[in-house]
């Protein structure tokens, strides 16, 4: 019987200049630590491979790719990456976020987001996703647990499966949040992230996932990325998302924006700018673009 590997103890050295404050979480391949940076004289977050996954070449490649990507991105709605360490262990060093994930907020049963707040959340996600797309990558794992709400600002975290558009393997993402084409082993384009925004807003509005609830028991135990579900058991391949207004009364424009983002066919979904424009209308946000000066 295999033992669960121990985590690093508080006070131990994770790498030169980084001391462990506490262990924060453990996933299938990674450990996440709160660390003290002597160079920055502040706390940071470090993602490292689990001790029992050090020889996992695929996990190492994903972590290194995420670190390189975060180091070249600077956006108010994307977590900031500070450093990528390759020795003595691969580690991605990121800023510490003081808020809570959208998933935790929904699980707490806090007061439901108002329609304008849902629209604002969508606009911030469109801003972040549009930025990623202009830098040639798709996020492909949008879900409430990958969004941190901090002082009214949403921040995307976890770019471990982000990749350029094009053909992709089936099942890369989180089983009940991935777009149908992700589950189907199809060509991945920006429309896959539009779906991701839609499925997050659907859950933010209703307090329940659009897929993966009690009616989708087939995949109830598969919650990690790169799940082993067979394609015919993904609920998003078996049924459409129900209209969001079947679960909550929302302004028609907001409900329409969410529902169109969740259309099964990628070509029928709005683009990120089109979705942002629809959300801006229902949120009462005026476009910051100024008219061109007269010649």
Q: What is the CATH number of the domain that holds 204?
A: 1.10.510.10
Could you tell me if 140 and 278 lie in one domain? yes
pLDDT band at 168 (very low <50, low <70, confident <90, very high): confident
Residue 163, SS3? strand
Higher pLDDT pick, 174 / 133: 133
Q: Whose structure tokens read 């079947």?
A: 246
Residue 3 belongs to some domain of the structure? no
Cis before residue 87, ω within 30 degrees of 0? no
For residue 185, the model assigns a pLDDT of 81
Q: Which of 41, 22, 42, 17 is nearest to 32 (CA)?
A: 22
Contact between 75 and 154 under an 8 Å Cβ cutoff? The reply is: no
Q: Are residues 137 and 168 in the same domain?
A: yes
Instruction: Assess whether 163 and 277 both reside in one domain.
Output: yes
The residue-averaged pLDDT of 185-199 equals 95
Tell me phi and psi for residue 269, to 5 degrees: -85, 155
Q: Are residues 180 and 70 in the same domain?
A: no
Is 224 assigned a catalytic role?
no
Domain that holds residue 81: 13-95
Among the candidates 61, 95, 129, a domain finishes at 95
Residues 258 and 125 in one domain: yes
Q: What is the pTM of this model?
A: 0.87
pLDDT digit string, tens, across residues 54-85: 999 999 999 999 999 999 999 999 999 999 99
On whether both 118 and 162 belong to a single domain, the answer is yes
Please count the structural domains in the chain: 2
Domain annotation covers residue 232: yes
Domain shared by 85 and 204, yes or no: no
Q: Which of 34, 52, 56, 141 is labelled catalytic? A: 141
User: Is residue 184 within 8 Å of 176, Cβ to Cβ?
Assistant: no
Going by pLDDT thresholds of 50, 70 and 90, the confidence category of residue 262 is very high
Place of tokens 């009690």: 214
């Amino acid at each position: 019987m295999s033992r669960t590997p121990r985590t690093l103890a508080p006070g131990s050295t994770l790498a030169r200049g980084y001391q462990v404050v506490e262990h924060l979480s453990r996933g299938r391949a990674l450990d996440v630590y709160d660390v003290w940076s002597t160079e920055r004289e502040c706390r940071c977050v470090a993602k490292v491979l689990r001790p029992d996954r050090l020889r996992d070449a695929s996990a190492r490649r994903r972590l290194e790719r995420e670190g390189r990507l975060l180091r070249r991105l600077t956006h108010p709605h994307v977590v900031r990456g500070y450093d990528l360490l390759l020795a003595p262990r691969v580690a991605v060093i990121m800023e510490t976020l003081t808020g809570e994930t959208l998933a935790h907020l929904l699980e707490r049963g806090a007061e439901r987001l108002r329609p304008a707040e849902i629209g604002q959340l969508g606009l911030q996600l469109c801003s972040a996703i549009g930025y990623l797309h202009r830098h040639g990558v798709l996020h492909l794992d949008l879900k409430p647990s990958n969004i941190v709400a901090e002082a009214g600002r949403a921040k995307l975290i976890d770019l471990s499966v982000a990749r350029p558009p094009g053909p992709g393997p089936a099942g890369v993402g989180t089983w009940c949040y991935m777009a149908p084409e992700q589950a189907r082993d199809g060509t991945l384009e920006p429309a896959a992230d539009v779906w991701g925004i839609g499925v997050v807003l659907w859950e933010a509005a209703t307090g329940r996932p659009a897929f993966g609830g009690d009616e989708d028991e087939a995949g109830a135990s598969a919650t990690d990325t790169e799940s082993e579900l067979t394609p015919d058991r993904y609920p998003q391949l078996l049924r459409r998302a129900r209209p969001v207004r079947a679960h909550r009364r929302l302004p028609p424009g907001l409900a329409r924006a969410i529902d169109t983002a969740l259309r099964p066919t990628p070509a029928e979904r709005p683009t990120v700018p089109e979705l942002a424009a629809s959300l801006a209308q229902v949120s009462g946000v005026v476009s910051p673009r100024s008219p061109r000066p007269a010649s």
